[in-house]
Structure 1
Amino acid sequence: MENRKIKKINVLYLLCYILVPLALIFLCAWFGTSRFPDGGNQRSFLLMGPFILSVLWWVFGGRQLFRARTKTVERELDAKGFLREYTFSSGSCTVIIDTQHQQIALLFFWKPFTYFVIPTSRISRAWVDDGRMGSGFMAGSSRVSFLFIADGVKVRINTFTSNKRWRMDSDHILTGISKADRMVRVLQNAGVGAN
């Protein structure tokens, strides 16, 4: 078991994730304009290459790193005897549950190089948030999630997100609610909220 308090964000990683590609863009742009003032292919490459690579990193790189780290964490947990009975990954967090030993492992997108394994007794509450907004025929949601409080830190794991609002009776929302309900039941069976 770990005694560390859960932290969802590594500020240094967050800053590097955003600022290192920006610095690379500006550095290459400055070098390209000062070294090749008349233009040319080299200058175009130095201006566009880092920009394209940075966008690819922001769009795909972080997600790929998070997926790779999730697989690494799963292998490490297996080696330690953690029984991975339930795993749920969203874009921001991966939750791995061992109901037999009443443990939960957490890996956060903004803190991918550290994972937390805690007993479920340190989780005080778990619930579903259907994201309902509006009333009557205007009721809808763009996010469904399940939440829990571990060591006083609220952790939200999305089971459905969209950039538009869906009616509460849509298949997308109902499927998201079903997934969230199932994960809350799994957490409760693992000992969450039993205190």
Structure 2
Amino acid sequence: MKEKKPHKTFLKWAETYGPIYSIKAGYNSMVILSSHEVAKQTIGQAYEDMQTQNQHLLQQVAERDDYNIKLVSESVKTKQGQSFLLFEKQALAKQLQQVNTSLGSLRLRIAHNEEQLKVYITEALKSTQEDRRLVVNLETMKWELADAEKELKWLKSAVSSSEKEYEQIQRKMDEIQNELDNERCFPVTIFSTL
């Protein structure tokens, strides 16, 4: 009580509600009114307060359940998304490895064909100085040279195409890596209003 003369307040209460008792429970003191009407009002008010509190608690439990369901759902979606991105990254890495292997093989074939082309050119120059019998061989070598040039041109085109495919796969892997890094840095969070 904040009044300077609490005894006057107790006297007023005693006139209105009947006898007043003071009970000391540990460090706390309680004032008890002995009127039946006051007891009924107090019990009724306490019951209403408990009902209101129970309704509020039930609403909080329902909201918490909804929140937990949403949280589990978002967690499952996030894990599925991460699994899919990881699977796609692994598939692209495997594809990139295959392209690198093919690219290396094609480069070896180009180098071999360039060396072979040099040999054919050298042999063609030598054969022009030989007798007529070798003219037939020269024509054959020219055909082989033309075929080698065609194959070289095709191989260079294939290498160019493979390099473009390699760059596209590398860009896609970088994008997927960025998505995975972003998901790790900024996990999905749902804030509760509770």
Whose radius of gyration is greater, 1 or 2? 2
Q: Which has the higher strand share?
A: 1
Q: Which has the higher helix share?
A: 2
TM-score (norm 2): 0.29
TM-score (norm 1): 0.29
